[in-house]
């Protein structure tokens, strides 16, 4: 049964269109976005559409030419001028200098997880707030954990600054869906399943939806889920089930580890089980298996013609750039949370999800839905920080804030969601 959205009380955010009038002082308007990839492009276009919140936008990346291409597209589609800069964000001092030069009050990190810590350091140095969409991962080890970024809690708190971690879709919206379910739908949660389906077709033999290096490291890592207070590890891609996704249809999905499981199991100790599932087509898995078998997904450096190269980085260089897949991608994504538990003494299962259309995203901002579903929540997290609706001192995950304003903005900015009550949780 679908619950009409109007029955759920969520804050109206029309004042975001004119925050100065309704809230008195706008505390933050100058934004520095780092990373001119697929996600950075969507977030920048969407920020440009909210001039009252983001009055000054600078986009910086390793290659300024990519920033300039995005700036041209923003001008053509939105009619706004944004600034661009070249930056190696591995260099904390250079990043701090750019923050000072642009007078940015908030840095939105849409580069790669490897840059998280150097950019957080730069924010502390230059006195800016911080937001990202993926947790830190060392370059030489395929291991992503929040511990490195949570360790900044005291320093951000002392500096009076806020760091918002994981404001993409998953992590990001999935954390907000969980907080929303807890607040409005299932007050005592028992199990959480996050289901990520890309039902799109890009017409390529093999391509990844976002940065190939980060994506392949994630997919080839062992699966892990939370059960009765411990992590259960199983071999990568070894647990498969089929699920009938709204507007997409039946797809095979595989148990994986995903970073939001770490923060959600910490912030909701009532969860007896928390799992993450992602869909993959047969062709993707066959290609991946061959690439793995021949050693091309390895992150161990090898010697090639007298110089060291990392096979996975070489593979990334020959694969299609996910940012260029928009033109040819058709179909939809469907990502959501299924949560079982109790509400008013009754057993209840709530499914909260969003369906996003690849072609509609391309028509709006020139990117496919995977970049879109990440870039829009990055813009929303930044807008909630910029207007002070979400505020705090220290390092935060998304579920630590009131989900309602975020949910309202998803509806207003291209990612509307649905709620369904199911008879039961996943039968497996």
Structural contact between residues 33 and 58, judged by C-beta atoms closer than 8 angstroms: yes
Is 220 an interacting residue with respect to ligand NDP (CB under 6 A)?
Answer: no
Q: Are 156 and 162 in contact (CB under 8 A)?
A: yes
CB of 130 to ligand NDP, least distance (A): 14
Q: Binding to ligand NDP (CB under 6 A): which residues in 279-298?
A: none
The residue with its CB nearest to ligand NDP is 37
Smaller CB separation from ligand NDP, 39 or 96: 39
Least distance in angstroms from the C-beta of 91 to ligand NDP: 8
Q: Is 62 in the site for ligand NDP (CB under 6 A)?
A: yes
Shortest distance in whole angstroms from residue 40 CB to ligand NDP: 6
Binding of ligand NDP by 143 (CB under 6 A): no
Pattern of binders to ligand NDP over 13-42, x per CB under 6 A?
---------------------xxxxxxx--
With residue 36 as reference, give the H or E element that holds it. none
CB of 259 to ligand NDP, least distance (A): 8
- Which of 323, 341, 381, 414 is in the footprint of ligand NDP by CB under 6 A? 323
Q: How far is the CB of 111 from ligand NDP (least distance, A)?
A: 4
Piece of 166-174, 277-285, 289-297, 410-418 that binds ligand NDP (CB under 6 A): 166-174
Q: What separation in angstroms does the CA of 112 have from each of 45, 92, 116, 184?
A: 19, 15, 7, 34
Rounding to the nearest 10 degrees, give the CA dihedral for residues 14, 18, 19, 21: -110
126 is a contact residue toward ligand NDP (CB under 6 A): no
| Tokens read off for 396 | 């935060």
Q: Give, rounded to a whole angstrom, the gap between the first and last alpha carbons of the chain.
A: 21
SS3 of 215-266: the string is: HHHHHCCCEEEEECCEEEEECCCCCEEEEEECCCEEEEEEEECCCHHHHHHH
- From candidates 162, 214, 255, 408, binder to ligand NDP by CB under 6 A: 214
Q: Name the burial class of residue 140, with classes exposed (0-12), middle (13-18) and buried (19+) by CB atoms within 10 angstroms of its CB.
A: exposed
Using CA atoms, how far residue 303 sits from 35, 294, 296, 300, in Å, is: 29, 16, 13, 10
Tokens standing for residue 87: 């930056």
Calpha distance 134→144 (Å, rounded): 9
Candidates 44, 58, 61, 397; binder of ligand NDP (CB under 6 A) is 61
Among 30, 66, 129, 413, binds ligand NDP (CB under 6 A): 66
Choose between 311 and 377: whose C-beta lies nearer to ligand NDP: 377
Residue 169 binds to ligand NDP (criterion: CB under 6 A): yes
The 67-106 site mask, x for binding ligand NDP (CB under 6 A), equals: --------------------xxxx----------------
Residue choice 322, 336, 403, 405 for contact with ligand NDP (CB under 6 A): 322
Residue from the set 19, 168, 326, 403 that interacts with ligand NDP by CB under 6 A: 168
Per CB under 6 A, does 111 bind ligand NDP?
A: yes
Q: How far is the CB of 345 from ligand NDP (least distance, A)?
A: 35
Handedness of CA 217, 323, 148, 64 (dihedral sign): positive
Q: Which one of residues 211, 354, 368, 387 is an interface residue with ligand NDP (CB under 6 A)?
A: 211
Place of tokens 């033999």: 205
Residues 108 and 53: beta-carbon distance below 8 Å: no
Best CA proximity match to 368, nearest among 47, 37, 33: 37
Number of residues in contact with ligand NDP under rule CB under 6 A: 34
141 — phi, psi (to 5°)?
-150, 125
Q: Is residue 313 at the binding interface for ligand NDP, with CB under 6 A as the rule?
A: no
The CB-of-42 to ligand NDP minimum distance in angstroms stands at 8
CB of 82 to ligand NDP, least distance (A): 15
115 binds ligand NDP (CB under 6 A): yes
| Nearest in space to 146 (alpha carbons), one of 175, 107, 108 | 175
> Residues 301, 310: contact at Cβ < 8 Å?
yes
Phi-psi region of 129 (alpha: psi -120 to 50; beta: other; left: phi over 0): beta
For ligand NDP, the closer of residues 381 and 394 by Cβ is 381
**Least Å distance between CB 34 and ligand NDP?**
6
Which residues bind to ligand NDP, rule: CB under 6 A? 34-40, 61-63, 66, 87-90, 110-113, 115, 133-134, 166, 168-172, 210-211, 214, 322-323, 374
């Amino acid at each position: 049964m679908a619950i009409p959205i109007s029955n759920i009380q969520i804050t109206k955010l029309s004042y975001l269109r004119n925050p100065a009038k309704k809230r008195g002082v706008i505390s933050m308007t100058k934004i520095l976005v780092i990373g001119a990839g697929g996600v950075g492009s969507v977030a920048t276009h969407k920020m440009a559409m909210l001039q009252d919140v983001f009055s000054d936008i600078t986009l910086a990346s390793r290659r300024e030419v990519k920033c300039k291409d995005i700036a041209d597209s923003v001008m053509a589609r939105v009619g706004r001028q944004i600034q661009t800069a070249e930056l190696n964000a591995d260099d904390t001092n250079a990043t701090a200098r750019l923050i000072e030069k642009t007078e940015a009050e908030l840095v939105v990190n849409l580069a790669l997880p490897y840059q998280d810590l150097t950019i957080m350091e730069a924010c502390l140095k230059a006195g800016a707030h911080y937001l990202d969409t993926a947790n830190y991962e060392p370059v030489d080890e395929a291991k992503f954990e929040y511990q490195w970024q949570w360790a900044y809690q005291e320093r951000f708190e002392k500096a009076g600054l806020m760091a918002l971690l994981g404001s993409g879709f998953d992590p990001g919206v999935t954390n907000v869906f969980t907080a929303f379910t807890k607040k409005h739908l299932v007050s005592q949660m028992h199990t959480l399943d996050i289901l990520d389906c890309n039902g799109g077709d890009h017409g390529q033999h093999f391509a990844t939806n976002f940065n190939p290096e980060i994506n392949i490291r994630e997919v080839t890592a062992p699966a892990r889920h939370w059960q009765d207070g411990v992590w259960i590890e199983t071999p990568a891609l070894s647990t498969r089930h089929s699920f009938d996704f709204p507007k997409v249809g039946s797809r095979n999905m595989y148990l994986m580890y995903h970073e939001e499981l770490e923060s959600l199991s910490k912030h909701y100790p009532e969860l007896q089980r928390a799992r993450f599932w992602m869909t993959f087509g047969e062709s993707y898995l066959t290609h991946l298996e061959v690439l793995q078998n021949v050693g091309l997904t390895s992150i161990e450096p090898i010697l090639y013609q007298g110089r060291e190269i990392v096979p996975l980085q070489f593979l990334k260089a020959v694969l299609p750039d996910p940012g260029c897949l928009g033109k040819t991608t058709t179909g939809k994504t469907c990502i959501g949370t299924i949560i079982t538990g109790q509400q008013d003494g009754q057993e209840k299962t709530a499914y909260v999800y969003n369906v996003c259309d690849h072609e509609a995203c391309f028509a709006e901002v020139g990117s496919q839905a995977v970049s879109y579903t990440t870039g829009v929540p990055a813009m929303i997290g930044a807008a909630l920080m910029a207007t002070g609706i979400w505020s705090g001192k220290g390092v935060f995950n998304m579920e630590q804030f009131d989900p309602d304003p975020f949910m309202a903005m998803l509806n207003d900015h291209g990612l509307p969601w649905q709620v369904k009550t199911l008879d039961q949780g996943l039968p497996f």
